[in-house]
Structure 1
Amino acid sequence: MHDDRVITERRLYRFLRQRLEPAVLGQRWPVRVTGWDVPGEPVPAAEAIAATAAYTERPAGSPWGPPWSTTWLHLTADLPDGVPLEDLVLLVDLGFTGDGPGFQCEGLAWRPDGTVLTGISPRNNAIPGRLLATDGSGGVDLYVEAAANPDLTQGWTFQPTPLGDPATAPATPRYVLGEIALAHVSRDVEELYRDCWVLNGLMAELPVDAPRRHEILRATEAMMDAMDPDDVPGTAALGRQHLRDVLSRPASASAHHLVATGHAHIDSAWLWPVRETMRKCARTFANALTLMDEDPDFVFVASSAQQYAWIKEHYPDLFARIRERVADGRFVPVGGMWVEADSTMPGSEAMARQFIEGKRFFLDEFGVDGEEAWLPDSFGYSAAMPQIVAAAGMRWFLTQKISWNQTNAFPHHSFLWEGLDGTRLFTHFPPVDMYNAQLLASEVAHAERNFRDKGRATISLVPFGYGDGGGGPNRLMLAAASRWRSLEGAPSMELNTPASFFTRAEAEYVRPPVWVGELYLEKHRATFTAQHRTKRGNRRCEALLHEAELWCATATVRTGAAYPAQELDRLWRMVLLLQFHDILPGSAIAWVHQDAERNHDAVAAACEELIAAALAALAALSTDDGTSTDGSGSAGCWFNATGFPVRGVAPFGAGVPTAVTTPATVTEQDGGAVLDNGLVRAVVDARGLIVSLRDAATGREAIAPGGRGNLLSLHRDTPNEWDAWDLDGFYRNTVRELTEVDAVTVESCPDAATVVVDRSVGATRIRQRIVLAAGEPHLRIEHEIDWQEHEKLLKLGFDLDVRADVSSAETQFGHVQRPTHTNTSWDAARFEICAHRWLHVGEPGYGVAIGNDSSYGHDVTRTVRPDGGTTTVPRVSLLTAPVFPDPFADRGQQRMTVTVAPGAGIPEAVRLGQATAGLVRRGTDRGVAVEPLVSLDGDGLVIDAVKLALDGSGDVIVRLHEAHGARSTAVLQPGFACRSVETTDLLERPIEPRRGVTVDGTTVTVVADPFTLSTLRFRRA
């Protein structure tokens, strides 16, 4: 029996590959092909179609396509007589180098009138006959925009390559045109092939001794016996009859149920630039619309409002078709975000804006107010996400990425996710463990076996369609879905929307388990550090956008100046795009990061122009009023933790700032130096290391006995898999402590005492300026690095005499605590963590805060010393040097600042973060004295945004959150004529106030629970 089974299975496999598959397409007819190689970047379709004189003959075998180039092909042919259009396809083989779509050449078919036809990729290269007769004369006349995108995966080995940068990519063609011809389709053979494809896969998943498996074997054996191998098309219908019974047997009543939704996860940039993503979206969306015309059950979802915006701008006819299908409920915008952003590194307001801008676009363009957040592929998920998602008016969350964990399998597939402030979201991890399923038998069987909530829930989601590089579903997947609908031995399946799934899943699982805190991805930890210039640009632009909105709102309210809403929207959307989960994390090709750096610079310059214009308007008003503009006669205003002027928030204390009376001094000592400003005293030795650090308030030594601060460590960084993504734990096995110096010198002025430390490591040069400024309760370490390392990681650490059980790290709208021990495998796997502007370690009554201006990666370890004390070591990851996908990532000049504050609690850590980012400053620092738009009296609450309302009403919007993780009280008052105040969601729609928010006239009192987020609308009189 065993031998008989194996023989039949082998026979079926060979029959599928050598008989059925080749017989799907029969007779061919020639197509004339001419082509034009576009010089430089892509051109609009109208220009390409009009360039008739530039086209030359392109027979099969013609080389084409240097990396990143575009070739337009013109295809013309007469339709064969007597062959119905529905039995014809146009085969277009661009010279595909494998069957993986999205990672090589691909194309978009256009009609001669400049409207989009459909996408072309390796597994979707047959244009249906019904689309061919475009000229009304019975002939074929269409154009193919062929993109010569190089395959950078190199068989998924991810080796260093020059192809990711146009400046280093070779100019030789990479592709050779394959067959382009009209072909006859045998529908009976095609359907039989699909039947066998599903049944063959199902057999492989059934137990060897399962009766069902043997029934299918006998049926397929009878099918092959009945067919004539010399006349497969003529006997295919007969063969199908022998499979009818095994295909008609329904799934078990207790079978797991799958909701399959068409999907194409299109990375907004990765192994291709943003400009190519625009074209990938057009190809994929056109393909989805074509399939909708053929299959009335097909539903396709797409996230990322940015991608729809590109289609609207560059492919208006395609966008109009999408609009129609959105209205039908079959093309479904999901996610509600501008892009599928990284979830850990964007700042508080930026993360909120991802949802604000995404949902605004979907509401404005489609009238869609989706309820499901959709982030299948981001590299971990912040503990703040539940409240941000809920504040955007959403109920559900979907991701898949945590299935990539290296150490611990996540224990649930459907659960409640509880965030920092207690908000809970119904969350689903598809147990199929992928976001680009093909609906293979192995995938649907895995989803059923893997589902961890059996007995309590019966339903899960399967996003299917080629993804990352786009492509989406194809006809074979839809054929499989129809057969999986109810088939014995398999889970049942339906094609439907995510909302349909979530509604039913939430209803049946009335008491799901709860997961509290971040969803940490036990992989891709290097993304907190890679491509530092991109991260620095992001941090700078976030801060400048906040400041620009504040000053522009102030100028509008105070002077009547026009509020530049459209320009601010444009700038925000650019920054939000650059927070995509392969751009901000540093895991894209060189081209992408060059664009990111250039665009960050452009955003920063535009913000400075907006700020300057607003200040000019305010200065003119001050002069007209006879008020001094140099700050004299006015208290000015201080900026809080995100750069907005509020009363009562000065650096490390309440009240308006007072004049500094103690200058900073530096005294040379034993080849090193002592820095002192009356608040902090630091001793730097001859190696440039901090061997003593005390705050005057407590007098306690922060550096552990025999320990060192400002210690740079160089590690070997050769991860097992994904070069720019992964940081594997064994990096700690090799370390070089940088204790040798080229020079240690001192500088002194009344405002600051400075020790300059110069080091060399091979070709790398490092200059550190250890600065203690007058009046500042922290030490600032400014880095200028000419980084020339290869596969190395640079960290900066401090040996602290603190017994810290947890570290606290800033995240969106609060901070997250993580154990410093490794009691469990979950703790041990969290060996590299993300912090925004500050990290804090402490014990009751004492702590130390570490701030940064542009870093995200950190680690915290601790040891117990022989003297019984505990040394806790926080370290900041400064730079990496991966070789893929950008072989020169991070090389060259780099700048970053790290600060350290001894004797700091969480409130001081919050202020240190703002000081390090340069956001503690008076309004008079900008040359204008002006009363703030809002005043905030109280501690613990932080204002995140002051801006004008989205609806153009001129109302002032204030967003704030509790930052200390404690019950905090504050009073918020407008500094302008105001008729009422109301609480809103992120989209500024009225909602019931959260508990603790009371309004008395126009005065708002907030008694905030830890980390709560509030948005308030002040309606101007």
Structure 2
Amino acid sequence: MHDDRSLVEARLKRVLDERVRPAVYPESVPLDVAVWHAPGEPVPVAEGLAAEPAPIEVGARWGAPWGTSWFRVTGTVPEAWAGKTVEALLDLGFDENMPGFQCEGLVYRPDGTPVKGLNPRNQWVRIGAPVAGGEQVRLHVEAASNPVILDYHPFLPTRLGDKETAGSDPQYTLTRMDLAVFDETVWQLVIDLEVLGELMGELPVDSPRRHEILRAVDRALDAVDLQDVNGTAARARARLTGVLAAPAVPSAHRISAVGHAHIDSAWLWPLRETVRKVARTTSNMTALLEDEPDFVFAMSQAQQWAWIKEHRPEVWAKVKKAVADGRFVPAGGMWVESDTNMPGSEAMARQFVHGKRFFLDEFGIENDEAWLPDTFGFAAGLPQIIKAAGSTRLLTQKISWSQTNRFPHHTFWWEGIDGTRIFTHFPPVDTYNCSMKGGEIAHAARNFKDKGVARHSLAPTGWGDGGGGTTREMVAKAARLRDLEGSARVEWETPAAFFDKAEAEYPEPPVWVGELYLELHRATLTSQAKTKQGNRRSEHLLREAELWAATAAVRTGFPYPYEELDRIWKTVLLHQFHDILPGSSIAWVHREARATYDRIAAELDAITEAAQRALAGEGTTELVFNAAPHPRAGVPAGGAAAPAAPGGTRLTPREDGGHVLDNGLLRIAVDARGLVVSAYDLEADRETVAPGRAANLLQLHPDFPNMWDAWDVDEFYRNTVTDLTDADEVTAGEDGASVRIVRSFGASRVTQVLSLAAGERRLVLDTEVDWHETEKFLKLAFPLDVHAERYASETQFGHFHRPTHTNTSWEAAKFEACNHRFVHVAEPGWGVAIVNDSTYGHDVTRTVRADGDRGTTTTVRVSLLRAPRFPDPETDQGVHRFRHALAPGADIGDAVREGWRINVPERRLTGAGEVAPLVTVDDPAVVVTAVKLADDGSGDVVVRFHEAHGGRARATLTAGFAHAGVTATDLLERPLAEAAAPEHDGERITVRLRPFELVTLRFRRA
């Protein structure tokens, strides 16, 4: 026996690979195989089962990209196998290193009953244990020939990401279709040796336990007759009994294993394929639950549950039974595992409303945890939303991917912008695809940052991303690790059980305040601009549709479109999934998303128009409907058109060929290059543009990140920049209040219109980009003569401050960040807002003044477009339109108002007369984000609002309709037990809000 671990490990590896693992299936016979290739898109199960297949041989090529092939496998169990365990081995051409990223299958019996899914790490189907011999075997496999898109080194552009460009060449080679004897004793020996070998590899070289395991493994290998593995496996296992029975030390770290299959609702596959991925995975997991009494599986994303219910009722029946047994656990309480940086306030709230309501309606289950293992960072407004939905906990793993700083905690309180705290856990295993390998378990124990005060962590266990879930091998390893010396203790538990233990042992964990910024994947704030525009537009159209439909329902009896709004909301929420909205999916996904957003816009416009016409009545008075929370003076929501503002805008030429726009409030100088060289606040007698600099400056950077093309922008992109200062033309607009600029660069062209309306304190920039660059990053810069150590960017139900400096690596890492409708930079008494209608990414930097004076200025740059080539080689090619506004002299309230105005334009039509608003608020710091009818169809009116300026507010909310009482509720419109009854005097309700506080009121109709 050698003491050298490397020699034993080498011996163990070879014996396992070449002798023991092959002996798991000592006998096999081929199955007869036939195949039918479905034309076009997938067909219903009944049609696939009824199709007439043609014979196919093992070794044949099959499967056009994104195709569906129905294999029929038939055979007879040999009589000689009577009393043995028999399995079908169905290898469609798998690469075992890529579970979830290639071909997959779902096995059915002839009657349409689903059996289990097939994937690279799960190729077996149990036929009998034991068999009698002579059984006839007939199985059908719905096989998806999803192409391999992802190859990590390098990321190569591919046309396989869209069925329209993928071609028809077969992708896979049918590898094995056999019946085989399964030797469970040998299989158990494999697990024994793997667990001990992996544990040995993690123990210190001088550890007595390592040497004990090493000797035991050596003795077990001596006991194996390499010419008769099956006959000697039991003898080998017996020599491992002692080391496997040694219990863990009392202080061992404790891991709650949660069966898991993080399934991206779309990514390197389209939405329709995710429906089938979910069916395959859940079929696997319900089968595994039947075989393994200790196993527990959790699945998030109510949308995926709804897909099973709608599309695969035969799978749904098994899932419902497993849920009733308490072992298939709904998790997370969101419609999808969404991005949390970019969704707006109401959309983020509705993720929880629709997710939690689905699980309540279907199972009577309410989750206390938000479950977001793979989301790309977390906005600072999220804790309040989680709490307002009735949850108190959060799990994520993704922050472990940060490249610059290591997050200092694994279990902690996360405090949001309003002071709400959520109990949060980052699994120290650092993966949401834990496979129970010894290295993963040891890493979790070593990595856990809360040693000494806590000892519990969670391990999401199972193949994810593309699905698959937990395997029987993982369950078997977990059983050995339940109480094993040298290892952390592993136990299958539900998420709720883990959090109960974690909170009990660590009631006062450390506090992290503000956003959970992921120091990676920053370019997801910009990639696929039209997807992001579709999301922003849909959010605001939904606001309008709900507001005006509710107003019309109360005022006129207009039929409130409950079902239509519910369906549209769920569609918008689905597209906020963390690989759709962030722009990191294949071309097919984004092509469909653009079409979906166009269809949604048409539907919502129709709802809004119908409601407004019902409200307006017949007449010739011009009415202006404005759904912004605080429309500009003179234009009340639904009010008659206001008279034109006094005065106007003067447009005068400059000597250099540029132009000056002056409306008495602002004076904007545009030079011959089309750049804004001055934006003078006449009232404050103050310049906005930094000295020696120019705003409206388009800047072009090379953009070739080290990895993750659509996801990442690396800081070195700033090292090279081209200022786009050459203009093809700079001309005065025909309206006398605008300047038109055209410039060309590379293969692209930009047309801008800069306009300054009468009576306005904002310069509007309409930018059209015909974009045909590759691996470039386009920014729009605003150098501001403001000395600011921090700036504000809007997030859900408020705003969040970030430093403008880079004192520490934490600040330096935030070189690209997210905002919603505005960024605000200020000195005491004066500030500037930059608002947008559809962009999210931006950066803010400090620059030493260029006029020789001391001090610094602040530059805000808006991210417009990128051009990555993976996974969509044509990302963002074509015409894009953006609208931004520069608002000098704006305070935070102005930023909030202007951000809404640029996103919710006025709608005009004629009618009988002014329409009174359904709800009014007398304090501009209080922003109403939703006015709607209650989801339960009662006709009650629900109003949601928050304090938006970051201070205390005392406001009067007036209901413009008769009601029989008002109740404070959670996001699901249920009364809050701890909430005091709102103060009210008739229709007037007094609300007192702390900074950024979110409130939902429900008015019972009289």
TM range (shorter): over 0.9
Change (3 A) 1:969 1:348: same
What is the match of residue 975 of structure 1? 960
Change (3 A) 1:651 1:842: farther
Q: Which amino acid aligns with 1:506?
A: E
Out of 315, 319, 323, the position equivalent to 1:318 is 315
Task: State the distance in 1 between where 2:659 and 2:364 align.
Answer: 65
What is the match of residue 401 of structure 1? 398
Matched, 1:879 2:865: yes
Instruction: Tell me how far 1:7 sits from its aligned partner.
Output: 2.1
Change (3 A) 1:994 1:712: farther
Q: Which moved more, 1:556-565 or 1:876-885?
A: 556-565
Out of 506, 509, 514, the position equivalent to 2:511 is 514
Task: State the distance in 2 between where 1:647 and 1:366 align.
Answer: 47
Instruction: Tell me how far 1:79 sits from its aligned partner.
Output: 2.1
Structure 2 unaligned spans of 5+: none
What is the match of residue 645 of structure 2? 660
Change (3 A) 1:918 1:911: same
Out of 945, 953, 960, the position equivalent to 2:938 is 953
Task: State the distance in 2 between where 1:610 and 1:330 align.
Answer: 43
What is the match of residue 806 of structure 1? 790
User: Could you tell me whether the CA contact under 8 Å between 1:91 and 1:179 is conserved in 2?
Assistant: yes
User: Could you tell me whether the CA contact under 8 Å between 1:969 and 1:1007 is conserved in 2?
Assistant: yes
Q: Which amino acid aligns with 2:945?
A: L
Task: State the distance in 2 between where 1:465 and 1:484 align.
Answer: 16
Alignment of 1:723-872 (within 5 A): 723-749=709-735, 753-865=737-849, 866-872=852-858
Q: Which amino acid aligns with 1:784?
A: E
Matched, 1:503 2:500: yes
Q: Which amino acid aligns with 1:40?
A: G
Q: Which amino acid aligns with 1:955?
A: D
Change (3 A) 1:270 1:930: same
Matched, 1:57 2:55: yes
Task: State the distance in 1 between where 2:526 and 2:907 align.
Answer: 32
Q: Give the secondary structure class of the aligned counterpart of 1:520.
A: coil
User: Could you tell me whether the CA contact under 8 Å between 1:435 and 1:464 is conserved in 2?
Assistant: yes
Q: Give the secondary structure class of the aligned counterpart of 2:928.
A: strand
Q: Which amino acid aligns with 1:773?
A: A
Out of 897, 901, 913, the position equivalent to 2:899 is 913
Task: State the distance in 2 between where 1:711 and 1:413 align.
Answer: 43
Q: Which amino acid aligns with 1:24?
A: V
Instruction: Tell me how far 1:664 sits from its aligned partner.
Output: 1.7
Instruction: Tell me how far 1:336 sits from its aligned partner.
Output: 0.5
What is the match of residue 940 of structure 1? 925
Change (3 A) 1:470 1:744: same
Task: State the distance in 2 between where 1:786 and 1:888 align.
Answer: 13
What is the match of residue 436 of structure 2? 439
Q: Deviations over 1:252-281 (max 9, x none)?
A: 100000000000000000011001101100
Q: Which amino acid aligns with 1:1020?
A: R
Structure 1 unaligned spans of 5+: none
What is the match of residue 447 of structure 2? 450
User: Could you tell me whether the CA contact under 8 Å between 1:923 and 1:930 is conserved in 2?
Assistant: no
Q: Give the secondary structure class of the aligned counterpart of 1:938.
A: coil
Task: State the distance in 2 between where 1:989 and 1:39 align.
Answer: 49
User: Could you tell me whether the CA contact under 8 Å between 1:646 and 1:936 is conserved in 2?
Assistant: no
Instruction: Tell me how far 1:699 sits from its aligned partner.
Output: 2.0
Matched, 1:194 2:191: yes
Task: State the distance in 1 between where 2:228 and 2:250 align.
Answer: 40
User: Could you tell me whether the CA contact under 8 Å between 1:132 and 1:141 is conserved in 2?
Assistant: no
Change (3 A) 1:227 1:832: same
Matched, 1:701 2:687: yes
Instruction: Tell me how far 1:171 sits from its aligned partner.
Output: 1.3
Q: Which amino acid aligns with 1:17?
A: D
Please give the TM-score of this superposition, normalised by the length of structure 1. Answer: 0.96
Task: State the distance in 2 between where 1:910 and 1:779 align.
Answer: 16
What is the match of residue 531 of structure 1? 528
Q: Which amino acid aligns with 1:860?
A: V
Q: Which moved more, 1:79-88 or 1:986-995?
A: 79-88
Instruction: Tell me how far 1:6 sits from its aligned partner.
Output: 2.8
Task: State the distance in 1 between where 2:662 and 2:640 align.
Answer: 24
Task: State the distance in 1 between where 2:581 and 2:129 align.
Answer: 41
Q: Which moved more, 1:657-666 or 1:450-459?
A: 657-666
Q: Give the secondary structure class of the aligned counterpart of 2:295.
A: coil
Q: Give the secondary structure class of the aligned counterpart of 2:430.
A: coil
Q: Deviations over 1:600-650 (max 9, x none)?
A: 01110110111122223324xx34xxxx46247xxx664334xxx889896
Task: State the distance in 1 between where 2:819 and 2:46 align.
Answer: 49
User: Could you tell me whether the CA contact under 8 Å between 1:133 and 1:140 is conserved in 2?
Assistant: no
User: Could you tell me whether the CA contact under 8 Å between 2:626 and 2:904 is conserved in 1?
Assistant: no
Alignment of 1:175-324 (within 5 A): 175-324=172-321
User: Could you tell me whether the CA contact under 8 Å between 1:981 and 1:1001 is conserved in 2?
Assistant: no
Q: Give the secondary structure class of the aligned counterpart of 2:26.
A: strand
RMSD between aligned alpha carbons?
Answer: 2.1
Instruction: Tell me how far 1:97 sits from its aligned partner.
Output: 3.3
Task: State the distance in 1 between where 2:611 and 2:702 align.
Answer: 49
Percentage of pairs with the same residue: 56
Q: Deviations over 1:931-954 (max 9, x none)?
A: 111111122000000000011100
What is the match of residue 630 of structure 1? 621
Task: State the distance in 2 between where 1:646 and 1:527 align.
Answer: 32
Task: State the distance in 2 between where 1:130 and 1:431 align.
Answer: 40
Change (3 A) 1:843 1:646: closer
What is the match of residue 336 of structure 2? 339
Out of 168, 171, 174, the position equivalent to 1:174 is 171
Q: Which amino acid aligns with 1:463?
A: P
User: Could you tell me whether the CA contact under 8 Å between 2:58 and 2:176 is conserved in 1?
Assistant: yes
Instruction: Tell me how far 1:5 sits from its aligned partner.
Output: 3.3
Q: Deviations over 1:96-142 (max 9, x none)?
A: 134321101110111212221110001100111249999x9931112
Q: Deviations over 1:827-871 (max 9, x none)?
A: 000111100011001110111100111100010001222311321
What is the match of residue 144 of structure 1? 141
Task: State the distance in 1 between where 2:293 and 2:987 align.
Answer: 54
Q: Give the secondary structure class of the aligned counterpart of 1:416.
A: strand
What is the match of residue 640 of structure 1? 628
Q: Which amino acid aligns with 1:45?
A: V
Change (3 A) 1:470 1:726: same
Task: State the distance in 1 between where 2:625 and 2:755 align.
Answer: 26
Instruction: Tell me how far 1:923 sits from its aligned partner.
Output: 6.9
Out of 660, 663, 669, the position equivalent to 1:677 is 663
User: Could you tell me whether the CA contact under 8 Å between 1:631 and 1:929 is conserved in 2?
Assistant: no
User: Could you tell me whether the CA contact under 8 Å between 1:666 and 1:676 is conserved in 2?
Assistant: yes
Matched, 1:1016 2:1001: yes
Change (3 A) 1:715 1:755: same
Instruction: Tell me how far 1:187 sits from its aligned partner.
Output: 1.0
Q: Which amino acid aligns with 2:628?
A: N
Q: Give the secondary structure class of the aligned counterpart of 1:861.
A: strand
Q: Give the secondary structure class of the aligned counterpart of 1:425.
A: strand
Q: Deviations over 1:204-253 (max 9, x none)?
A: 00011111111111111111112211110011011100000000000010
Task: State the distance in 1 between where 2:598 and 2:469 align.
Answer: 35
Alignment of 1:453-602 (within 5 A): 453-602=450-599
User: Could you tell me whether the CA contact under 8 Å between 1:808 and 1:841 is conserved in 2?
Assistant: yes
Task: State the distance in 2 between where 1:924 and 1:155 align.
Answer: 55
Out of 892, 896, 899, the position equivalent to 2:878 is 892
Q: Deviations over 1:709-758 (max 9, x none)?
A: 10110001111111010111101000000001111011142xx6111111
Q: Give the secondary structure class of the aligned counterpart of 1:709.
A: coil
Please give the TM-score of this superposition, normalised by the length of structure 2. Answer: 0.97
Change (3 A) 1:132 1:1019: farther
Change (3 A) 1:155 1:675: closer
User: Could you tell me whether the CA contact under 8 Å between 1:618 and 1:928 is conserved in 2?
Assistant: no
User: Could you tell me whether the CA contact under 8 Å between 2:264 and 2:465 is conserved in 1?
Assistant: yes
Q: Deviations over 1:39-87 (max 9, x none)?
A: 11110111111122xx100110111111111110011111222535861
